[in-house]
C-alpha cells in the first residue's frame, strides 16, 4: 500500500503536494488561534468551544438545505416566511461567535464587534427576532418530542448543538473570565431559545403539531414552558 500524501518526518508533518486546505501543522494534535501564532491542543477547552460552534453552523445548514429543497419543489409555503434567510443570518452570526472563542487571549484588542466578537447589536437583533417569531406561533404547553418534520428536526438538532456550545463556553469562562464578561454566552442562550421557536414554526408551516413527550399529553411544566430548554 502506498504512503499517504501527508507523512511525518522527525516528529513533524510534511505535505508532499500543494493544498489550499491541508498544511500538516495540525498533525501534531494542535490548532492555531486567530490573530497570532498561538497554538493549542485540539481538545483544549477553547477548541472544544469554537469547534462546537462549527458543528452548530453545519447543523443549521441541514435545515437550510431542506428549505432549499422545498423551494425547488415548489412546496415552500408562506408559513415559513423568511426562515431560509434567517437561518443563513444565524449561521453567519455563529461565525462571529466562533471567531470570538478562537481569538488568542493576548490578541483580543484586535477583535471587532459584529465581526470577531458578539456585539450588543447582535443580541438586540436576536431578541427582536425571538419576540416576533414567538408571536407568530401557537405555543405548545407540554414537553415536546422532535421529529414531526425534516426541517423542524434539523433545527432541533442545531438547537441541541448550540446548547452544547453554550456549556463549553461556560466551562471555558471559568478558566478565562473574559469570555463570560461579554455578550457571547447570553447570545448562545438566546439563540437556543429562538431555534426551539423556529422548530415549532417549521412544524406549523406544514400543518403539523408538536408531539407531547407524554402519551396522554401530560401536565404543564411548572412555569408553563413548553420544553426543558425553554425554562432558562
CATH (one of 1.10.150.120, 1.20.1200.10, 2.30.110.10, 3.40.50.300) for 42-230: 1.20.1200.10
**Confidence check: pLDDT of 107 > 80:** yes
Cα–Cα dist 108/95, whole Å: 16
30, β-bridge pairs:
41
Determine the pLDDT at residue 146.
Answer: 76
> 130 in helix, strand or coil?
helix
Cα–Cα dist 149/203, whole Å: 6
The cell for 121 is: 447589536
Q: Which helix (H) or strand (E) holds 41?
A: strand 39-41
Number of H helices, E strands in the chain: 5, 6
In this predicted model, what pLDDT tens digit does every residue of 147-156 receive, in sequence order? 778 999 999 9
pTM for the predicted model, two decimal places: 0.80
Cα–Cα dist 93/169, whole Å: 16
Distance of CA 225 to the CA centre of its chain: 22
Determine the pLDDT at residue 49.
Answer: 95
Distance of CA 45 to the CA centre of its chain: 17
The more confident residue out of 79 and 202 is 202
In this predicted model, what pLDDT tens digit does every residue of 33-72 receive, in sequence order? 778 888 877 888 999 999 999 999 999 999 999 887 766 5
* Domain spans in the chain, listed from the N-terminal domain onward: 1-32, 42-230
In this predicted model, what pLDDT tens digit does every residue of 164-193 receive, in sequence order? 999 999 999 999 999 999 999 999 999 999
Among residues 155, 143, 163, the alpha carbon closest in space to that of 196 is found at: 155
Amino acid at each position: 500500500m502506498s504512503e499517504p500524501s501527508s507523512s511525518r518526518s522527525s516528529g513533524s508533518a510534511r505535505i508532499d503536494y500543494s493544498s489550499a486546505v491541508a498544511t500538516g501543522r495540525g498533525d501534531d494534535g494542535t490548532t492555531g488561534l486567530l490573530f497570532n501564532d498561538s497554538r493549542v491542543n485540539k481538545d483544549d477547552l477553547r477548541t472544544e468551544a469554537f469547534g462546537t460552534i462549527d458543528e452548530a453552523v453545519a447543523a443549521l445548514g441541514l435545515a437550510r438545505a431542506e428549505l432549499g429543497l422545498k423551494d425547488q419543489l415548489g412546496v415552500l409555503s408562506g408559513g415559513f416566511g423568511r426562515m431560509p434567510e434567517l437561518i443563513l443570518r444565524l449561521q453567519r452570526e455563529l461565525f462571529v461567535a466562533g471567531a470570538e472563542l478562537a481569538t488568542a487571549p493576548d490578541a483580543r484588542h484586535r477583535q471587532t464587534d459584529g465581526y470577531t466578537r458578539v456585539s450588543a447589536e447582535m443580541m438586540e437583533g436576536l431578541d427582536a427576532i425571538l419576540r416576533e417569531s414567538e408571536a407568530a406561533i401557537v405555543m405548545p404547553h407540554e414537553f415536546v418530542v422532535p421529529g414531526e418534520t425534516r426541517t423542524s428536526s434539523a433545527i432541533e438538532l442545531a438547537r441541541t448543538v448550540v446548547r452544547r456550545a453554550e456549556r463549553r463556553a461556560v466551562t471555558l469562562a471559568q478558566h478565562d473570565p473574559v469570555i463570560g464578561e461579554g455578550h457571547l454566552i447570553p447570545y448562545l442562550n438566546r439563540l437556543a431559545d429562538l431555534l426551539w421557536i423556529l422548530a415549532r414554526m417549521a412544524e406549523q408551516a406544514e400543518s403539523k403539531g408538536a408531539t407531547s413527550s407524554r402519551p396522554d399529553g401530560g401536565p404543564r411544566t411548572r412555569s408553563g414552558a413548553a420544553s426543558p430548554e425553554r425554562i432558562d
